[in-house]
Chains A and B, each alone.
Chain A
Amino acid sequence: MSSTASQDLLPPDLLARLERMELVSRKVFRGRLKGERRSKRKGQSVEFADFRNYVPGDDLRFVDWNLYARLDRLFLKLFLEEEDLHVYFLIDASPSMDFGEPTKFFAAQQIAAALAFVGLCRGDRVRFEFLGAKNLTSPVLRGRSQMWRMTEFIQSVAPTEIYNLTDAVKRFCMRHTGKGIAILISDLMDKSGYESALRLLVGRQMDIFVLHMLSPSEIEPDIVGDLKLVDCEDHDEAEISVSPALLKKYQATLATFIDQAKRFCAQRSITYLLTRSNQSTQVLVGQYLRERGLVR
């Protein structure tokens, strides 16, 4: 993997900004290793949480001796445990993502890399899962040092596999039982529907974010004339005669599609974020995602 490639994916100035951020989960999950994340569990961090009465067997190191001197009773100091967080990036690697300038897939890679870098910096457990006929899964990455491995892995994947979103998400869910944050980056243009896939993720009680990635050509099609539109995945053909009325109708259909997705997500506590593939990652992560509470 070349450094230029990683630089394209994560420019240095972006990295500098990302270092100061952290991923936010509205749920607090039990982690496996100690991390930099506050947990509900009381533990051994430096952050004080509460006192409790000493019971035999307690670690004497946590007895508050000053209190004992004043009250002549033994109290144990409780500290908040700091834990790590599981962050899963589910990236749609279907050929439909390979459209746009830059491609939707590249934009998805870039966002995933940026968010993963935030997670790595905060000691979260980051995992990439490129959804396809056979999901391409990265090893668990933790710690800043893993950034190069991460970029290397991300860049090794190409959007070529035609698959069913529900099946791919099901494979992910079966493999990963742990809770955490799941960030799905997709154009949601699966003809069999995206709803069942999202329901599977919701069932895992994960904190789910859907980044709906659309290219400008999908939002504002710049086409004229009598055309035969060929689907790049299933080669389905749709014959249209482009007219202002047709384009207006398309816009209405797109708006309805987005609105349905938004409503579906809102009803299931999924955070829905619509992004354009030509949006700069700096703005997207630094501003857009921060405003929407994915990072802070």
Chain B
Amino acid sequence: MSWINTLGWWQWLLMLSVPPLIIMLYFLKLRRTPIEVPSTFLWRRTIEDLHVNSIWQRLRRNLLLLLQLLAVLAIILACLRPGYRGEETLGARSIFLIDNSASMQATDVDGSRLEEAKAKAREMVGSLESSDAAMVIAFSDRADVRHGFTSDKRKLREAIDAIQPTNRLSDLNEALRAAAGLANPGRTSQVGDTNDVQVADALPATLYILSDGGFGNPQTDLGNLSAEYIPIGLPSARNVSITAFTVERNPERPDRMEAFARIENFSEEAIDVQSSLYLDKELLDARNVSLEPFSNTGISFSINALENGELRLELDVDDDLKVDNEAFAGIEPPKQLEIVFVSSGNSAIEAALATPYVQDLASVRIIDPESLFDPEIVKLAQSGQIDLFIYDGCGPEEMPKSNTLFLGSIPPGEKWQTTEEKGPLFIIDTNRSHPIMQYVDMGNVNIVNGVALTPPEGAAELLRSDLGILACVAPREAYQDAVLGMRLFYQGDDGVIPNTDWPRKRSFPVFFLNCVEYLGGAVSATGTRSVMPGNTIALNIPARYEKIEIEDPTGKITLFERHEDPQVVFQETEELGFYKIKSANDSRLLEAFSVNMFSGRESRIVPAPEVSIGAQEVEAKGEIQQLVRVEYWRWLLAVTLVLLSLEWFLYTRRVSL
């Protein structure tokens, strides 16, 4: 305990003269009117009855004096500013970075790690000096400045209390940028915002990172910031998680599907886990998995082919983090494609588009090239309602808002270029890895004439002839254009002259089926897409669906009204589970995707003993200890207030007696 004198000598004299003054005043009796009475006998007994116990009476008589003296004493002590060198106080400027990523939902500590982090932060706020300023940032894979620098502890506590857990990953970079932008002079928290004012002075601040450390190695220069890492969680925390889960059609057996999952043990002990696979809440299969410490294993389930549905894999294990014990996958719903085939007559392609497989996938409308100038067709092409345009030896004036396949012609504009037609051509390479070219064997195909294509940037080559690129697919905004640099037939004077024998080969209908599946967007052989929580997903929904709604796992529906946008960008992917995209008009399921927490970093919940930020190594600190003076004068003033209130209360009670 130490004291700081805040008064001068004359002020002390004045202050110390107050208690004797009170005592003097107390002993100065009230000027009472004397009245002669026959006897004070009864009055004495009356007063004595009021003061039954003489000791209590004396005490009571002097209680007011005592209280007044105590109040003055408390004020005098407050003037001396008593205090001690506290251990639980922080610097003048503190930034609390509170991790609210998925791993902070671990329950290895009381409540959850986030609750513990919040409690520690509240404790640290409590030990702030009145002149200290602090700031609260919650971070996952993005930073959320909950409160800028303030000395108002109540606001800081409210900001801390309001932090909620998320299913997102940890990434300290953005949080560090926000903190540094506010703490370092000359930096701004919002790059490019000219109105952004510097909110903090050029004063060094201490960064308190309350996290389990699962944020990798952020590459940020701390500048004036000094970092303290307060690990949250126990080293003995155990966790088993699903780090991958997909479902695909069996390429060899179209009636079967395969579900693959990877299960990882992030604990120091071997764990037996039961994994159960559910289809729409109905148990399909289950596996027992034994996992050695810090090991992983893959499991697969073979199930009947599904048209659509939600698959859920669940681990039955009592570990500290539940959020990664579930994973979701699904089968893309079948799509009914709209294809327009523009041709002046091509029986081979018509036959290829009339196969049962293509018929299952799409409805094909055949028009002649003159109809392309028909305003109705132009409008249709620009409406985005058609999934695929196939141009046979012709082309539109303006590219449609859909995927296209050009056969013997190229899209209008400067982006696509061709050479002169030459022949014969020999195919020297086939890109088998591309979905369009899967199962397409071009080795035995003879070609009379063809061109070499010069596609725009980003194009994927499909076929290469001795002349150059014979077929390729190139992106155009949200669409893809495939071009085949040869014709199938020539219209000669004496009828149709074939340019190639490809239509007679087995690969020909396969190529068109692939085109319909890939360019038409009917590639549903694989499962639905999976994104990480909080990540953005771009959905290619045919523009003919003007209103779509997205239903999240909680049943919340987000409505999108589209204005010819080829893509729908959806951001609200906080909840883990299955998201369904439906047509708002007829509630038809258009697409689905799942949100899964497949992150080994997030599932590795054992708190890191140290973290590195840029080049700086920050060791874990259990306690934040800085020697700063903790003062009591506010408490003394509060005591004075209480004493004075008590004195007033007793005085009024006495008068009323």
Contact = CB atoms under 8 A, between A and B. Distances in A.
Contacts of B130: none
Contacts of A238: 40, 43-44, 47
Contact of A232 (B38, B45, B655): B38
Interface string B117-139: 00000000000000000000000
A187 B38 CA distance: 9
Given A239-B32, A241-B655, A243-B655, A229 B37 contact: yes
Given A228-B33, A230-B35, A191 B41 contact: yes
Given A245-B656, A249-B46, A250-B46, A225 B38 contact: no
B39 A187 contact: yes
Interface residues of B, number: 24
A240 interface: yes
B49 interface: yes
Contacts of B41: 189-191, 231
Nearest to B33: A227
Interface string B1-39: 000000000000000000000000000011111111111
A190 B38 CA distance: 11
A95 B39 CA distance: 9
B49 A249 contact: yes
Contacts of A223: 35
B40 A227 contact: no
A110 interface: no
B33 A225 contact: yes
A230 to B, nearest CB: 5
Nearest to B50: A249
Nearest to B45: A253
B656 A243 contact: yes
B657 interface: yes
B191 interface: no
A104 to B, nearest CB: 8
A220 interface: no
Given A241-B655, A243-B656, A245-B657, A96 B39 contact: yes
Contacts of A257: 42, 45
B32 A254 contact: no
A253 B42 CA distance: 7
Given A238-B43, A257-B45, A189 B655 contact: no
A215 interface: yes
Q: A interface, how many residues as a size bin? A: 35 or more
Contacts of B46: 246, 249-250, 252-253
Interface string A185-221: 0010111000000000000000000000001001000
A236 B38 contact: no
B35 A250 contact: no
B657 A243 contact: yes
A8 interface: no
Interface in A239-273: 239-241, 243, 245-246, 249-250, 252-254, 257
Given A249-B46, A253-B49, A229 B40 contact: yes
A99 B38 contact: yes
B42 A232 contact: no
Contacts of B34: 227-230, 237
A236 B40 contact: yes
A191 B38 CA distance: 12
Contacts of B42: 189, 218, 250, 253-254, 257
A253 to B, nearest CB: 4
A233 interface: yes
Contacts of B32: 226-228, 239
B41 to A, nearest CB: 5
A238 B36 CA distance: 10
Given A240-B47, A249-B46, A226 B38 contact: no
A233 B41 CA distance: 11
A229 B657 contact: no
Contacts of A229: 34-37, 40, 43
Contacts of A95: 38
B47 to A, nearest CB: 6
Contacts of A96: 38-39
A233 B657 contact: no
A178 B29 CA distance: 55
Contacts of B36: 229-232
Interface in A73-107: 95-99, 104
Given A227-B33, A228-B33, A246 B40 contact: no
Contacts of A215: 38
A230 B34 CA distance: 7
A196 to B, nearest CB: 16
Contacts of B40: 229-231, 236-238
B62 to A, nearest CB: 16
A227 B47 CA distance: 13
Contacts of A232: 36-39
A227 B37 CA distance: 11
Nearest to B657: A245
Given A227-B33, A253-B46, A246 B38 contact: no
Contacts of A236: 40, 44
Given A227-B35, A230-B37, 18 more contacts: A98-B38, A189-B42, A190-B41, A215-B38, A225-B33, A226-B31, A229-B37, A230-B36, A231-B36, A231-B37, A231-B38, A231-B41, A233-B39, A237-B40, A243-B656, A246-B46, A246-B50, A253-B42
14 contacts: A98-B38, A189-B38, A189-B39, A191-B41, A223-B35, A226-B31, A227-B32, A227-B33, A229-B43, A230-B40, A237-B34, A237-B40, A239-B30, A240-B43
Interface of B: 29-47, 49-50, 655-657
Interface of A: 95-99, 104, 187, 189-191, 215, 218, 223, 225-233, 236-241, 243, 245-246, 249-250, 252-254, 257
Return the 4 tightest CB-CB contacts between A and B, nearest first.
Answer: A96-B38, A189-B39, A228-B32, A231-B40
